[in-house]
Structures are given as C-alpha cells and as structure tokens.
C-alpha cells in the first residue's frame, strides 16, 4: 500500500506544481473533501477556494485556486485550474480567492450577458431585414 500520491497542478500556461503528498484537501460545490493515497479513483469539479496538501518536509501547504477539475487516478492527483497562488498565510490566500477569482467570475458573467444581448439584437435585426424583404416580394 502506497503512503504517498503525486500531486500535479496544471495551469493553461504550464505546470504550476508537482509534489509528493500524503493527503490533499480540496473544495467542490457540495463541500470539502480529503484524498488519501489508497482512496478510490475520483473526479470532482472544483470551486474557487483553497487546496491544501501535506508534503511531508514542508508540512501543510496551501494554494488558492480558481475553478477547475481534480482527477485522482491510482497514486496520481491532477488538478487543472486557470489560476493558482501558493502561500503560507491562509487568511491572505482566502482574500486572494475572494478578490481575484470571484471578481473574475463576476466580470465573466457580465461579459456573457452583454454578448447574449448583442447576439439577440443581431438576430432581431436579421429577422426584421427578412421581414422587409418579404414585403417586397
């Protein structure tokens, strides 16, 4: 039985972190969970929050992560996320999650809303042009 897992955190720009860990704790929409080396294989969608792990020599390490996906397969744990910040101070990292990641979500929501309005306006304009063209025929 293995007592360690290989944790790999991937960002769009490359590998953020590779570490040997004895446990990893992350947060999904339905709450936090802990992974140990001999747990069953697992997949979860992560929410912005704190990913912590015990790396032996360094003790408990904390990462603030954006939304992402976690896959545990055998003795490997892969986390794919858009952003990650490593830190020792849990309060500072939680503040980073609130300021950076959740604010980004709000900006994205506003952008999607504006894009939906533009698309609807474009479709209405096309429909009106087709209506005008049909009147002439």
Residue with tokens 């504006």: 114
Q: Which residue reads 């953020």 in tokens?
A: 16
Phi then psi for residue 126, to 5 deg, are: -65, -40
pLDDT tens for the chain, 137 residues: list them: 678 999 999 999 999 999 999 999 999 999 999 999 999 999 999 998 889 999 877 778 999 888 899 999 999 999 999 989 888 777 778 777 777 766 666 667 677 677 777 888 878 887 888 776 555 54
Report the predicted TM-score, pTM, of the whole model to 2 decimal places: 0.69
Spell out the domains of the chain, with CATH numbers in brackets.
5-109 (2.60.15.10)
């Amino acid at each position: 039985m293995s007592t360690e897992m290989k944790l790999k955190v991937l960002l769009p720009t490359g590998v953020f972190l590779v570490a040997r860990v004895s446990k990893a704790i992350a947060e999904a929409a339905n709450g936090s969970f802990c992974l140990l080396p001999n747990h069953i294989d697992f997949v979860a969608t992560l929410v912005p929050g704190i990913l912590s792990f015990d790396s032996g020599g360094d003790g408990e390490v904390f990462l603030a992560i954006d939304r992402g996906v976690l896959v545990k397969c055998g003795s490997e744990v892969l986390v794919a996320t858009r952003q990650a910040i490593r830190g020792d101070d849990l309060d500072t990292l939680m503040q980073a999650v609130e300021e950076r990641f959740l604010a980004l979500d709000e900006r994205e929501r506003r952008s999607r809303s504006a894009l939906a309005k533009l698309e609807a306006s474009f479709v209405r304009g096309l429909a009106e042009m087709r209506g005008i063209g049909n009147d002439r025929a």
